[in-house]
Structures are given as C-alpha cells and as structure tokens.
Amino acid sequence: MITTDAVRITRGARTLITELTHTFPAGAITAITGPSGCGKTTLLNCLGTLERVDSGRITACGRDITRLSRRGAAAYRRSSLGYLFQDFALIDTATVETNLRLVSRDRSTIAAALAAVGLAGYERRTIGELSGGEQQRVAMARVIAKNPPIVLCDEPTAALDSGNAHTIGDLLAGLADDGACVIVATHDSTLAARADHRLTLDAPSTPPVR
C-alpha cells in the first residue's frame, strides 16, 4: 500500500498537484488519469522516489519514502518496486535474457515471464532488433519476473495493439490479485475502466500574469 498525505508538487511556475491525500491499496489496480501535462508521470516518479515532492509525505510499505537518502531510495526501488517505464528502460545492445537477469537469476522464472507476455523463446534476441510493442512486453516480463509488492506503470499499453494491450491488462490484474499495489498512469480509457480505483488529476495551474 502507498499513501500520500498533503502532497504538493510544483515544476517551475506550474502547480501540478496540491494537497493530495490518497490511498493506493494493495491487491488492486489504481488508474491515474487526466489531461496531458497534469502530472501523471511526475506523480508516478515521486511514488517511485525518482523525483521529489515539494511538501507532504508519501508512505510505502510502512516507510516514509520522502525522507529517504539517495542510497535508501535506491534500496527501496531495488527491494519493493517494479517500474514499467514509458520508454521501456531496456538495454538496447543486450539480449532479452540479460535484461531480465537484472531482476532474477532464475532461468525458469525468466522463461515463465516471457511466456506470460507471449515472447516464449526470445531469451537470445537482442532488444534493438525487437519492435516497440515487443520491447514493451519485455519490460512487462521484467516486472513479472521481479514480482515486487509495488508496481508502477507509465502508459503501459501505449505501444501495443488492442490484443496485446488486453493481455497487459490481464497481467496487471494478475499481479494485483496476487497482492501487489498496481498504479497505472494512462490515457487508455479501456485500461482505466479495468482498474479497481481511479485518481483523476486536474490540469496544472499557473500564477496569474502581473
């Protein structure tokens, strides 16, 4: 579970989020929706300790993660977090297996994760030779192989056709059914409709011009 308490996030002159108090429960999918530029990705990054809030507190797995040191934040991400990035964050020159071995050394776990996303037998393929949709599924397989208590997803279906997008939705639902706190920033209305909860952000505000 992740909770935010009076979280405020600004970037430059824009106020993205003001006084956000919210609970993202374990064992469920929460969709973060809203117009482009409203702060969905920024909030996701703050929940993942990749960015900092201006004020307020974020508690994850019983710890106040807003006050972690750089080393502590890295340890939190390593032990508790699976992140499905919009740009996939894969090593293009490495094989699929090498990318998944960053989270699991067990070959059977890697094989099962790849099979779950429809990429059985892709271990020896290089990331750079895969399509965008295939790379997105490799990134999803990496999350499955890690099996963390918290899963953060930034537009997880953006590069996928409707069939593969549905499969990703099924896999995220499976992670939630297994007890994970799954948080998805998305413009995909179909995926958002499958979520157990929804947090809708407003367009950012800017100070009046004087």
Q: Is residue 14 part of a domain?
A: yes
Task: Please tell me the total count of domains within the chain.
Answer: 1
Q: Is residue 6 part of a domain?
A: yes
Q: Is residue 65 part of a domain?
A: yes
Q: Is residue 143 part of a domain?
A: no
Helix spans in 81-201 (H): 96-100, 107-116, 132-146, 162-177, 189-194
Q: Is residue 101 part of a domain?
A: no
Q: Is residue 173 part of a domain?
A: yes
Q: Is residue 132 part of a domain?
A: no
Q: What's this model's pTM, rounded to 2 decimal places?
A: 0.92
Range of the domain at 14: 2-88+149-200
Q: What is the CATH number of the domain that holds 168?
A: 3.40.50.300
Say whether 157 sits in a helix, a strand or coil: coil
Strands (E), the chain: 2-11, 14-24, 28-33, 55-60, 63-64, 81-84, 150-154, 181-185, 197-200
Tell me the pLDDT of the chain (210 aa) as tens digits. 999 999 999 998 889 999 999 999 999 999 999 999 899 999 999 999 999 999 999 999 899 999 999 999 999 999 999 999 988 999 999 999 999 999 999 999 999 999 999 999 999 999 999 998 899 999 999 999 999 999 999 999 987 889 989 989 999 999 999 999 999 999 999 999 999 999 999 988 765 444
Measured at the alpha carbon of residue 128, what is the angle toward residues 154 and 117, in degrees to the nearest 5?
50
